[in-house]
């Protein structure tokens, strides 16, 4: 079950890195937001290992927010910017890459 779960974040890493590199030619500091629950606690070690294998480092939220991508959301003196990478793609008229829909897999696990 954990391996099936980790397929979604693995695909998301590829998806969001692709968008970030299309927009900014680099990785932005991504923010990992998780729900607290028994299952997430169970898979947390595997998830953190996945991110580390993919070259991620963990920083504080204030450190990540210092990146220019988040400027419009965190600096009230700046005009509002895109709040998500997909929104930034749309604003620039760029087509988002295809993405796997894991809803059916999730639904089968949860029943």
What are the tens digits of pLDDT across the range 36-62?
888 888 999 999 999 999 999 999 999
Q: Which domain holds residue 53?
A: 2-110
> Per-residue pLDDT for 22 more than 80?
yes
Q: Of 100 and 79, which is predicted with more confidence?
A: 100
Residue 1: its pLDDT value, please? Answer: 64
Using alpha carbons, select from 104, 111, 110 the residue that is nearest to residue 8.
104
CA distance 105 to 1: 10
Work out how many domains the chain is built from and give that number. 1
The string over 40-56, giving b where at least 16 C-beta atoms fall within 10 Å of a residue's C-beta and e elsewhere, is eeebeeebeebbeeeeb
């Amino acid at each position: 079950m954990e391996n099936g779960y980790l397929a979604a974040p693995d695909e998301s890493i590829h998806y969001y890195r692709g968008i970030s590199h299309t927009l900014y030619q680099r990785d932005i500091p991504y923010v990992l937001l998780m729900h607290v629950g028994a299952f997430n606690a169970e898979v947390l070690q595997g998830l953190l290992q996945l991110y580390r294998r993919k070259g991620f480092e963990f920083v504080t939220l204030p450190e990540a927010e210092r990146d220019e991508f988040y400027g419009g959301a965190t600096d009230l003196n700046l005009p509002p910017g895109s709040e998500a990478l997909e929104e930034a793609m749309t604003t620039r008229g760029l087509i988002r890459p295809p993405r796997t829909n894991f809803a059916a897999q999730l639904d089968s696990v949860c029943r």
